[in-house]
Amino acid sequence: MNNLYENSEYIQQSFKYIGLTMYETKCYLVCLSLNYATAVEIASISNVPRSKSYEALISLTSKGFLEKIQGRPMKFRAIQPSKILKIQKDTMLSNLDKAAVELEEIWNRRDHADDQQIRIIQGSQSIVDAGYALLRKAMKRVIIGLRFYFPDELDKLLKVLFYIHQNGVEIDIIIFPDIKKTIDKIYISKLKKIANIVEGPIPVRIIVVDYENMLLNAPIYRNGDIDLVFSQAIMLKNKNFVEMMDKSLKLTIEILSNKEEE
């Protein structure tokens, strides 16, 4: 009988999930292997201390795993596993469903301050890294406006766009006309395979992801040229505002696309 218990790690773990103690599991396995038995017999075979075995048997009875057979002495008999485990499974699933509803209510009542973050990012490398990380999280849709780009940014941008494109993300890119002239034609042709690209007077460098996250980088001019060293960007997470920006950019893309077709 000891081997029955010691070699049943899967059974031990399963019973643990449904709330049985080690002593309760041992006692139930003994009862399961016998037609019926007294508390003394069960304690002896299971190696559960006699004082603990009676507590375990009473608990198993209240949980529906055992039934009492009245007499002197009282005996215990196991309930068929398929019956009791089905009841336990149904109860557990029902409790999980109720817990899910309550947890969702707690989630919806929580402070949403973290969902509306504004962060200032300084330095070209930090801005590039933040944009790269933001794009990798995209699940549905990305809009990119390129008023300018940073040194060594384009290769990294292409890699992450290929990655999210393979995951089914829709990609639109607006490129400032003068900037497009500085980008290699082969690079542009690679972009066109994975993204809808239009030319237009986009005033900022912007990345909009999944209607709620945005990285906005306005150009800083020094002596008439854009300063790529002392740059600052705003990382914004605000569903209402970013969704409005997404719609505005999408409308701009449609207008620019129509002009190109004309």
Please name each of the domains of the chain with its CATH number. 2-81 (1.10.10.10), 114-261 (3.30.870.10)
| Mean pLDDT, the chain, whole residue set | 84
Cross-strand bridge partners of residue 143 = 172, 208
Contact 42, 30 (CB under 8 A): yes
Pairwise CA distance, residues 133 & 123, whole Å: 16
What is the model's pLDDT at position 229? Answer: 67
Residue 169 pLDDT more than 90?
Answer: yes
Residue 115 pLDDT more than 60?
Answer: no
- pTM equals 0.54
- pLDDT band for 90, please (50, 70, 90 cuts): confident
262 versus 1: which is more confidently predicted?
A: 262
Residue 144 pLDDT more than 90?
Answer: yes
Pairwise CA distance, residues 121 & 130, whole Å: 8
- pLDDT band for 214, please (50, 70, 90 cuts): very high
Cross-strand bridge partners of residue 68 = 76
- pLDDT band for 82, please (50, 70, 90 cuts): confident
Element (H, E) at 185: helix 185-192
Query: Among 186-195, 203-212, 215-224, whose mean pLDDT is lowest?
Result: 215-224
pLDDT tens digits for range 24-35:
988 998 998 888
Mean of pLDDT values over 54-68:
91
For residue 206, give the DSSP letter: E
Pairwise CA distance, residues 7 & 142, whole Å: 54
Mean of pLDDT values over 197-214:
90
pLDDT tens digits for range 97-113:
888 888 877 766 655 54
- pLDDT band for 255, please (50, 70, 90 cuts): confident
